[in-house]
Amino acid sequence: MEERAVPLFDCQSCGACCSYSSEWPRFSTEDDAQLDRIPQDYVAAGETGMHCDGVRCSALSGEVGKSTICGIYDVRPDVCRACMPGGDDCLMARKAHGLPVEPPISPLVGEMPGRAEGGAVPPTYQSISELNCRIIFERQKD
């Protein structure tokens, strides 16, 4: 299996995927119990997907590209759960909003496995997991 470089995008400083199309997010694989947990104010007429204000999901708060939060994160639809930071959908939405699509340089990149002399290599799923575990561990010590 080939490892893919994963951009270090933070959803809470983006929100582009949640304000990209009035036709998205659509409900597709959710069962009735999942849909019942989503507050009705956020559900579109006809219950086919999330209610949008223009192209923006009504559950999104904040300013796209700066600071955002999902008002229903814990009960968000499957399509939202499937949209991964740095994935194709993410990058398409970021580009549509004029946000960078190249991965930002992490201040800890020098500590990441695979760092080449004089520069860094794109992070892999494994290196990001290792780094995230280390950051969480360090925060718990404080």
Share of the chain above pLDDT 70, in %: 66
What is the predicted pLDDT for the residue at 25? 85
How far apart (Å, rounded) are the C-alpha atoms in residues 126 and 132?
10
| Distance, CA of 71 to chain centre | 14
What is the predicted pLDDT for the residue at 137? 52
What is the predicted pLDDT for the residue at 130? 55
Q: What is the dihedral of CA 88, 92, 93, 97, to 10 degrees?
A: 150
pTM: 0.67
Evaluate if residue 54 carries a pLDDT over 80.
yes
Instruction: Calculate mean pLDDT across residues 21-33.
Output: 91
Instruction: Calculate mean pLDDT across residues 71-79.
Output: 95
Per-residue pLDDT tens for 84-129?
998 899 999 999 999 998 866 555 555 545 544 444 455 454 445 5
Question: In the chain, what are the domain boundaries?
Answer: 11-96, 109-141
